[in-house]
Amino acid sequence: MNASTTEARLAGIASLDDATEVSAATRLAQYNMLNEIPGALFGIITVAYLVGSLLALAH
């Protein structure tokens, strides 16, 4: 029984050259979504504060 290997490698790990490139449009969309999150959170907090204030005044 003879065993020989030609190169050592780990299964399931691809080289960096084989990785797929993210397109510029996808990168821009991801950046824009992350850029809008703080504004959206501020808007939600503001609306919740206004509704809570109006409900407190109604009682």
Question: Is residue 25 domain-resident?
Answer: yes
Q: Tokens 């907090």 appear where?
A: 45
Q: How many domains does the chain have?
A: 1
What tokens were used for 13?
Answer: 């790990």
Question: Is residue 35 domain-resident?
Answer: yes
Question: Is residue 16 domain-resident?
Answer: no
Q: DSSP string covering the chain, please?
A: -----S----TT---GGGSPPPPHHHHHHHHHHHHHHHHHHHHHHHHHHHHHHHHHHH-
Question: Is residue 10 domain-resident?
Answer: no
What pLDDT, in 10s, does the model give residues 8-41?
666 666 555 555 688 999 999 999 999 999 999 9
The reported pLDDT for the residue numbered 21 is: 80
What global pTM score does this model have?
Answer: 0.54
Nearest-angstrom CA–CA distance, 14 and 18 = 6
Question: Is residue 29 domain-resident?
Answer: yes
What tokens were used for 21?
Answer: 């490139």
Question: Is residue 13 domain-resident?
Answer: no
Question: Is residue 4 domain-resident?
Answer: no
